[in-house]
């Protein structure tokens, strides 16, 4: 199973692997590996920060600006695709993997998009909100 959550909720002992899907960590988290390839690019991160600063960070900006940019980033990054394939294989092999980031609102976070990409290929994914995010897989699948 693949579990997505915020860094604050990690129980490292419950997982075979713990991945932190951020560009960099300010502090070490025991047993966790930072995975920059599945985090937003610096450009996208700065767009997110600007939208937040302007009080325009909401579901509409997430759906219309963030999601398409993030999915394009993933689609054109072979290392990111390889990591997603690895996660899928690990799930099918019965491994428990945690994917965490700093975001507190799962619905407005790149980890929900990663969850949706994995849900779309029938990986066993548990999120904090137990939502189905396969809509992101459908968008990804239909991108040029």
17-20 β-sheet, strand order: 32-34, 17-20, 97-101, 2-6, 125-126
pLDDT at residue 30 tops 90: no
3-state secondary structure of 55: coil
pLDDT at residue 24 tops 80: no
- Categorize the per-residue pLDDT at 136 as very low, low, confident or very high, splitting at 50, 70 and 90: very high
On the 0-12 / 13-18 / 19+ scale of CB atoms within 10 A, 39 is: buried
- Categorize the per-residue pLDDT at 31 as very low, low, confident or very high, splitting at 50, 70 and 90: confident
């Amino acid at each position: 199973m693949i579990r997505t959550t915020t860094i604050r909720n990690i129980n490292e002992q419950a997982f075979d692997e713990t991945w932190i899907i951020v560009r960099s960590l300010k502090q070490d988290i025991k047993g966790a590996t930072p995975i920059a390839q599945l985090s937003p690019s610096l450009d996208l991160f700065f767009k997110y920060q600007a939208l937040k600063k302007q009080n325009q960070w909401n579901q509409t900006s997430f759906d219309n600006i963030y999601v398409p940019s993030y999915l394009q980033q993933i689609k054109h990054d072979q290392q990111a695709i390889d990591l997603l394939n690895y996660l899928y294989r690990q799930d099918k092999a019965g491994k428990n993997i945690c994917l965490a980031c700093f975001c507190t609102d799962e619905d407005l976070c790149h980890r929900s998009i990663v969850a949706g990409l994995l849900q779309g290929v029938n990986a066993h994914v548990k999120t904090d909100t137990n939502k189905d995010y396969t809509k992101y897989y459908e968008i990804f699948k239909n991108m040029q």
